[in-house]
Amino acid sequence: MKKLEDYVRTIPDFPEKGIMFRDITTILSDKDGLRMAIDQMSAAIGDVEYDTVLGPESRGFIFGMPIAYNMHKAFVPVRKKGKLPAETVSVDYDLEYGKATLEIHKDAIKPGDKVVIVDDLVATGGTMEAITKLVEKLGGEVVKIVFLIELEGLNGRERLGKYDVASIIKYPGK
């Protein structure tokens, strides 16, 4: 039987020389790979008590929605600035070459809500750190963060040190 790692396609030198791009589309396009990813990410949540699954645009939607559905939990999308129609709260964060802004609806997380955040990949952890700030700004509590892939060489887990973080596939480099 194949392991989940066997479904990941690695593309050397993309988007620039020296980067090993971990392509998850090969997981998504295979029924067994997709099921395995959702099942393993769901299992990584464990017996944590929570109310809501939150997923950032766009790959957090892909993995977060079926997990929320299977666990009979609500799903909250995190979007790039200007994409949500109702009143939002936002957080600015630094990118490698500039800044970005993320938003969620102001009424999406209630004070005291316990939140599991699901995404495809953690690299430096900057985006996820910003997302945790959004949850906490609304009075929610991040009880677990689950990634499909972790690039250990970029130390994103360290940036998220105060949270319970799980990764299904870990790559030692960048």
Q: Give the number of other CB atoms < 10 A from CB of residue 166.
A: 17
Radius of gyration (C-alpha) of the chain in whole angstroms: 16
Q: How far apart are CA 50 and CA 93, in angstroms?
A: 26
- Whether 9 sits among the annotated catalytic residues: the reply is no
Nearest to 5 by CA among 19, 31, 23: 23
Catalytic residue among 16, 49, 87, 96, which?
Answer: 96
Q: Which residue has the tokens 């609304």?
A: 138
Q: How far apart are CA 171 and CA 169, in angstroms?
A: 7
Catalytic residue among 5, 57, 59, 141, which?
Answer: 59
Which amino acid, residue 128? M
- Whether 96 sits among the annotated catalytic residues: the reply is yes
Contact between 83 and 57 (Cβ < 8 Å): yes
Nearest to 130 by CA among 151, 149, 122: 122
Catalytic (active-site) positions: 59, 96
